[in-house]
Structure 1
Amino acid sequence: MTARPDLPTAVCVMDPAMADHVLPEELRTRLSAVVRLVPGPKSPATQATFPDALAEAEILISGWGCPRLTADVLAGAPRLRAVMHAAGSVRPLVSDAMWERGIVVSSAADANAGPVIAYTLALITLAARRTLTMAAGYGGEWKDFASRPGADGSTVGIVGASRIGRGVLAGLRRSDAGYRLLLSDPYVTDEEARRLGAERVGLAELCRRSAVVSVHAPLLPETTGLLDAGMLGLIPDGGVLVNTARGAVVDTEALTRECVSGRLEAYLDVTEPEPLPPGHPLLSLPNVLVTPHIAGAQGREVRRLGEYAAAEIERWVAGEPLLGAVTREALPHLA
C-alpha cells in the first residue's frame, strides 16, 4: 500500500533490533492509513545522526535506543509536532526545548505497567512466604505449617502511589491472602489512600510495620537513596524488600549488609549500579533474587507498546485527546 503524500510523516527511531517487534508489519499497515511512515535508521541512532532521520518528521515514534531530543536535535526537525514514545519513561528523551516548541508528548507507560504489576505481584507472593529462605533450608527439619512465615495476614507496605504502585495495590486487594496494606506517598491524602484500600503512613512507620516493603517510587533527587540504612534497619527481622522500580531508590550498600547478615530477603529486578558488577554479594546470596530488569514488557509483550503508540497516533491525527499525554508539570514526578 502506498501512503498518500498529504498524510503527516511519521519516523520510527528506536533500537533497530526492537523496531520490528514493537511495530510489526500489521501495525505498520494499520498506521499507513493515517500517516506516511518513513523507516528509521537501520543502525542505532546517535546524537550526530539523529537530526538527519527527523528532517521531514511531523511525528516521531520513539522507543528504547532513541537519543535525547535536545535543542540541537530539534533544530534539525523543523516540522516535528508530536512524539509518541512506544516504551515507558520519557524522562531520558525529553528536554526543555520540546516544551518550548510546543511538541506534544505521549508515553506507552500504561501498556508497560501491566507486565510490571503482574511481575511484582508474583514477587510479593513469593516474598510474603519468605520463599528464598524456605527454599535454602529445604531438606532440613520441616516446621509445621502453622509456624511457617506464610502470607496470610502479612502487612505489605507500598512505597509510592505511582501508576504501578496503584496497580499493585489493586491486585493485592483482589487477592484472598488477607494482606494489610500500607502506603507511603507525600502526594496522597488519607482519603485517597483509603480509596486505594490502604492506610497512609510515613515511610518510617511503613518500614517498621511491614513484613514486605515493595518499592514503586520514581527516581528523583528526593527519592535517591530513600530506602537507606536507617529505613532498612526499621524493617522487622525476616522482612523482605521488593524493588521493580529504580535501583537507586535503595541504598545498595545498606541493603547488601542487611542481606549478608541474613536479616532481610530481597527480590530485585533493578539495582544500582545496573548491572551489578561480577562477584557482587547480592548475586550469590541464597536470600536474594536478582533478575535483569525483566519486569516490563518482554518478548511478544513489547507489541503492546507499539499498539498503544499506534492508537495514540490515530487519536492525534483525528484531533482527539491522548490517553498517554505527558505534560511538563507532571514529568518531574514520573518514573
Structure 2
Amino acid sequence: MTRLRAAFAVRHPDLVPELFDDAAVARLRSVADVAEAVLTPDALDRGGDPGQGPAGVLADVDVLLTGWGAPRLDDALLRRAPRLRAVVHAAGSVKPLVTPALWARGVRVSSAAAANARPVAEYTLATVLLAGKRVLEAADAFAAHRRFDGWSLPDPLGNHGLTVGVVGASRIGRQVMRLLTPFDVDVLLHDPWVDADGARALGATAVSLDDLARASDVVTVHAPDLPETYRMIGAPQLALMPDVATLVNTARGRLVDTAALTREVLSGRLRAVLDVTDPEPLPGDHPLWDAPGALLTPHVAGSLGNELRRLGDLAVGEVELLAAGAPLGHEVLPGQLGTTA
C-alpha cells in the first residue's frame, strides 16, 4: 500500500463537502495525506511562494481530486506539479480538464461519469413514463376545467406497448435501457458503434436514426456532443416522428436543431422535454418557454443534492485502488475522448 499525497481542486471550497461526506473523507485520509488548502482556479492564479499556499500543495501532490470548475491541467500548471500521478474527477466529462500535456506526462485520469449517469437515467425514465401517460397535457387540461368532466385528451397514448427510441448507447443510454426493462415498452436503439447482437443484449432493437424517429412514441437523446453529432436530430428526423410524440434531451442542446424543434412544438404536433438547449439557456423571449407541450428544466437531470455523494464515493474508491497498486475502475484513456462526452 502506497501512502499518497492528495488535494482537492474545484471551483469553490464549498463544493468539497457537497461531494465528500465525513465517511468519504475518512476513507480518503486512510490512504492519503490530504492538503487542507483547496486548489481553486483563483488561488492558483495568485501563485505565491513556491513553498507555501496552493503552489506548495501542487509541488507535493500525487493525486488531484477534481470537480466542476477545476483548473485546466495545461503545461504551465503541470510544471508546478512534478509529482502528479493521477487526476480523479468527481464529476462527469473530463474534456474541460485534460490537455495533451497531461497525457504526455503519463498522468492517469479517472472520472465519476458512471455515477453521474444514474440520476440522468432516472430523470429520463420518469420523463418517458410521464410522456407516455401525457401527464403534462392532462394537467393543463384539468387545470383549465377544474373538474373531472369536460376535459379530454384527443390522442391518449399510455405505457402499454409504448415504443421508446434511445439515441446513443452511452453510459446513460445503457442505464436508461436497463431501467426500462421491467416496463411493457419496446426499445429501439440507434448507435453506429452497436450492432444488432449488441443491441439485443441491451434489450433493444438496432435501427437507423430515421427508422427510430419514425417508429418511436418517445425519443430520448444520449449521444455525446461531437462534430459528427451536431444537430443529428434535425428537421428531417423531427418530421418523421409520429404526431404527439415526445423528444427528451438530457445530453447536449447542440444535438438537436432548436429552430426545427420549436416549429414542431408550436404547431402542436410534437412535445419536448429539454434539460439542455442550444443556446443554453434560451433567450428570455424564446417561444419554447411558454409553449404548450414543452417542458424546460435547468440542467437538473445530473447529480444534485445528496446525489453528489455518489461522485465523491466513486472518486475515493479510485484513490484507494491507486494506493493499492490496483487497476482503476473508471480510467479514461486518450483514445476514448473522440467517442465520449
For normalisation by structure 2, the TM-score amounts to: 0.91
What corresponds to 2:338 in structure 1?
Answer: 332
What corresponds to 1:170 in structure 2?
Answer: 178
What corresponds to 1:237 in structure 2?
Answer: 243
* Equivalent position to 1:27, from 21, 24, 31: 24
C-alpha distance in structure 1 between counterparts of 2:158 and 2:23, whole Å = 47
What corresponds to 1:122 in structure 2?
Answer: 126
C-alpha distance in structure 2 between counterparts of 1:75 and 1:43, whole Å = 17
C-alpha distance in structure 2 between counterparts of 1:40 and 1:92, whole Å = 22
Residue 144 (structure 1) shift: 8.6
Matched AA of 1:279: D
Residue 121 (structure 1) shift: 0.2
Residue 286 (structure 1) shift: 2.2
What corresponds to 1:266 in structure 2?
Answer: 272
Are 1:7 and 2:13 an aligned pair? Answer: no
Cα gap change, 1:144 to 1:334, in 2 (>3 Å): closer
Residue 48 (structure 1) shift: 2.9
Matched AA of 1:69: L
* Equivalent position to 1:38, from 21, 35, 39: 35
Contact kept in structure 1, 2:40 and 2:70, CA below 8 Å: no
Contact kept in structure 2, 1:14 and 1:45, CA below 8 Å: no
What corresponds to 2:51 in structure 1?
Answer: none
Are 1:153 and 2:150 an aligned pair? Answer: no
Residue 143 (structure 1) shift: 4.1
Matched AA of 1:213: V
- Give the unaligned 5+ runs of structure 2: 48-53
Q: Which string of whole-angstrom CA distances, capped at 9 and with x for unpartnered residues, describes residues 138-167 of structure 1?
A: 22734499x622121111100000011011
Residue 105 (structure 1) shift: 0.5
Note the 1:1-335 alignment, pairs <5 A.
7-15=3-11, 16-41=13-38, 44-45=41-42, 48-49=45-46, 52=55, 54-138=58-142, 139=145, 141-143=150-152, 148-175=156-183, 178-335=184-341
Q: Which string of whole-angstrom CA distances, capped at 9 and with x for unpartnered residues, describes residues 9-33 of structure 1?
A: 1110113231111123332222111
Contact kept in structure 2, 1:46 and 1:67, CA below 8 Å: no
Matched AA of 1:26: A
- Give the unaligned 5+ runs of structure 1: 1-5
C-alpha distance in structure 2 between counterparts of 1:157 and 1:210, whole Å = 5
The alignment yields a C-alpha RMSD, in angstroms, of 1.9
Matched AA of 1:36: D
C-alpha distance in structure 1 between counterparts of 2:195 and 2:324, whole Å = 37
Q: Which moved more, 1:211-220 or 1:95-104?
A: 95-104
SS at match of 1:329: helix
Cα gap change, 1:39 to 1:249, in 2 (>3 Å): farther
C-alpha distance in structure 1 between counterparts of 2:182 and 2:17, whole Å = 36
Q: Which moved more, 1:47-56 or 1:294-303?
A: 47-56
Contact kept in structure 1, 2:134 and 2:156, CA below 8 Å: no
C-alpha distance in structure 2 between counterparts of 1:74 and 1:42, whole Å = 13
Residue 49 (structure 1) shift: 4.6
Matched AA of 1:11: A
Residue 133 (structure 1) shift: 2.3
Q: Which moved more, 1:15-24 or 1:198-207?
A: 15-24
SS at match of 2:181: helix
For normalisation by structure 1, the TM-score amounts to: 0.92
Cα gap change, 1:37 to 1:47, in 2 (>3 Å): closer
Report how many residues are paired: 327
Q: Which moved more, 1:14-23 or 1:210-219?
A: 14-23
C-alpha distance in structure 2 between counterparts of 1:38 and 1:252, whole Å = 45
Matched AA of 1:48: D
